[in-house]
Amino acid sequence: MKVAAAQFAPTADPAANLAVIEEMTAEAAAAGAELVVFPEESMIPSDVLDENDVPLGEFAVTHWGPFLEGISRTARAHGVALVAVGYEDSGTALPYNTMAAVDAGGEVLGLYRKMHLYDAFDYRESRHIQRGDTGPVVVRIGDFNVGLVNCYDVRFPEFTRSLVEMGADLLAVSAAWVKGPLKEDHWRTLLRTRAIENTCWVVASSLTTPDCIGTSMAVDPLGVVRASLGEEERSLLVVDADKDRIDRARTVLPVLRNRRIIIGPR
């Protein structure tokens, strides 16, 4: 299955961001992609709402529905499955940070509400976001079981392992990975590590807003970086994620069979 990672810099205009998602989906479809992974905050960056004193929870009430409808319409129009991220009304003052996976017909396959909030590096996401409590999510796209991973989640090996326990053979990572000392190295290292320790594909997309690194990547089950972007404000990578590579990796490196401590999904 050909999988694309689309990185871009969303603005304060959610309609304009949806238009970019539609354009990049069309580009990915033309390249043969069956799945496109968009970054965290592809609906809108939270900091632009802070700058304009717009409560994130109120924004989610108005705009989550149109955003979900927009990505479903785009998927259906181009016959490509999508993963994209926005702010979903939680019924409280704080919204969920939600990954939505829709199939090529525009049907919603699953919603993953971010469980690990980014309370690190002098930032507290929990001040703005309601923690999700519905557990990890795996969806079926083509021949692949796709596990949904939202940014800070990638720092928790037990989380991605639980997705693999649920059958995931590809991890779709959406991120707004903030720049800073060692952060770029952490991003590359964590993505390769999650691929190697789980012998699965990892396809990751990150924002390219001024405070984020871009550097979207596709890593194969033996940790080989098959494609990578830099800091380009808007760019697309496409990788052929094949099941044979998973089978080969799990034959020569049977870490999942060799485990002695097994932690299943909660």
Residues marked as catalytic = 40, 114, 151
Rounded to 5 degrees, what are φ and ψ at 46? -65, -30
Tell me the CA distances in angstroms from 115 to 42, 104, 149, 220, 245, one per residue in order. 18, 26, 10, 25, 30
Spatial separation of the C-alpha atoms in residues 84 and 42, rounded to whole Å: 6
Q: One-letter amino acid identity for 19? A: A
Spatial separation of the C-alpha atoms in residues 263 and 245, rounded to whole Å: 25
Cα angle, residue 239 at apex, residues 237 and 242 outer, rounded to 5°:
165
Determine the angle formed by the axes of helices 14-30 and 56-78, rounding to 10 degrees. 30
DSSP assigned state of 234:
S
- Comparing CA positions, the residue from 157, 60, 160 lying closest to residue 100 is 60
Q: What's the number of CA atoms in the CB half-sphere (13 Å) around residue 2?
A: 13
